[in-house]
A and B are shown apart, each in its own frame.
Chain A
Amino acid sequence: MIDIAIHFTFGCFCAAMILTLWKILRAEGVGDRVLALDTMVINVIALIVLYGMRFNTQMIFESALIISMFGFVSTVAYARFMLRGNIIE
């Protein structure tokens, strides 16, 4: 029963990834693209954790943590660049 639920959640997050990819390609402004990239990183973290549940591995969680940190830093850097024109003043 858990396997079916994991596959259902996999499908949901894969569809969410496709929607965010569509939004990155077809956004009206830069802010929407940055927001879509942030959402995509969060979806990737969910997919990694689901993979860890499905195949019973513990090793994969460190990579999820590192990707979440990279996603946060990159989003903040993009937002600073939109706001100021440079990242580190």
Chain B
Amino acid sequence: MEQFYEILIVIFLVVSGVFGLVGSFGLVKLADPMSRLHAPTKATTLGVGGVLIASMLHSILIEGHLSMHELLITLFLLLTAPITAHFIAKAYIHRHVTPEELPDPGGDHGWATLQKDDDENEVS
């Protein structure tokens, strides 16, 4: 049974290491900034999540005590990764994209990122 636990932990570790490496390699290798946003926010988050799961399994199955810190870190990382990606994408739109290139948002107002301060004052 010990052998089976070890194989499980090893699978988690190796898969997460490969995912982390692929995430950073995509950050260097991909061509345009918005596709470069995909690699670190998804692959690297999955990789670090795998490491944390492996650490939790290691403390439960091998050392024999329950550890909840990893769950906290996993939850925090999985919650914050989409928020940071959203902020970086917003900043990219604000700096590099003109309003003519974007599709019609379909509401009463335009894209919130590209609104001028005066327009916001008029709306509110």
Contact = CB atoms under 8 A, between A and B. Distances in A.
A38 B23 CA distance: 12
A5 B13 contact: yes
Contacts of B96: 29
Contact of B36 (A22, A32, A69): A32
What class of interface size applies to chain A in its complex with B? 35 or more
A28 B92 CA distance: 12
Chain A interface mostly helix, strand, loop or mixed? Answer: helix
Interface of A: 1-2, 5-6, 8-9, 11-13, 15-17, 19-20, 22-23, 28-32, 34-36, 38-39, 42-43, 45-46, 49-50, 52-53, 56, 58, 61-62, 64-65, 68-69, 72, 75-76, 79-80, 82-83
21 contacts: A1-B10, A2-B10, A5-B14, A9-B14, A13-B47, A15-B24, A16-B20, A20-B40, A38-B40, A42-B40, A43-B48, A45-B73, A46-B51, A49-B73, A52-B55, A53-B54, A68-B73, A68-B77, A72-B76, A80-B87, A82-B94
